[in-house]
Amino acid sequence: MAQAFAAIDELVRLSALDPAWDWRKTAIVSRNWKNLDAVRSYAEAKDLQVDMANEDLPTIRRLRETQAFVSGLRAKKTALLGLTDILTVLNGWLNGRVIHAAYNAVFF
């Protein structure tokens, strides 16, 4: 639950710094939907609009980008990955791809 609060609080903090912030282009990503229950509850308590991708679209795990990212994380073979490890995998996976800078994401 503390991670949910921290993720939402950080996005709220960042949104206050950027006058062009667009919440519709912001995402919190998790390995499973159950982990996002606390995120959704906390966001709704802060009067933030919440849309869950699993309500309208196929599961995010079916996306090839997500599968490639998760495979990269699993290949690290460590008990606990730190932020640097995750960013290394993400940056390696993103290498050579065009990134749309207008999107904000927190991996949870």
So what's the pLDDT on residue 61?
Answer: 62
Q: How far is CA 107 from CA 4, 19, 58, 87, in A?
A: 11, 23, 19, 10
Tally the domains of the chain: 1
So what's the pLDDT on residue 62?
Answer: 64
Range of the domain at 67: 2-107
So what's the pLDDT on residue 55?
Answer: 61
Return averaged pLDDT per consecutive 10 residues of the chain, 108 residues in all: 87 92 85 85 88 64 72 77 81 59 50
So what's the pLDDT on residue 9?
Answer: 92
Single-letter code of the amino acid located at 79:
A
